[in-house]
Amino acid sequence: MDLKLQLGRIRDWLLHFGAYPEETLEQRAKRRLYLGITWLATALTAPVVLEDLGAGLYWIAVINAVGVAPRPRQTLGDLTPSEKLAAAMQ
């Protein structure tokens, strides 16, 4: 198999988490973007966590690993533009 095809399948698999049949294209795009950012943050944080573990800084490693966990504040889809702006300023 072609390497590009294999990497595309892996990417699609990683971005498929949380998908459901009735989601709109906009919801799908938002979910895939959010997942992509989460996967990227995890990949960039992993070397730091491993370095902390190697240095014996176990609690620091835990804090760094948990800091990547996604924590959405609220869904902004049903808010008016002024309410979205107020939520973003919090």
> What tokens does 16 get?
């498929």
* pLDDT tens digits, one per residue of 30-86: 888 888 888 888 888 888 888 989 999 888 888 888 776 655 555 555 666 676 666
What is the Cα–Cα distance from 14 to 37, expressed in whole angstroms?
A: 11
What is the Cα–Cα distance from 30 to 78, expressed in whole angstroms?
A: 15
Provide the b/e sequence for 32-63 (b: ≥16 CB within 10 Å): beebeeeeeeeeeeeeebeebeeeeeeeebee
Q: Is the pTM value of this prediction over 0.85?
A: no
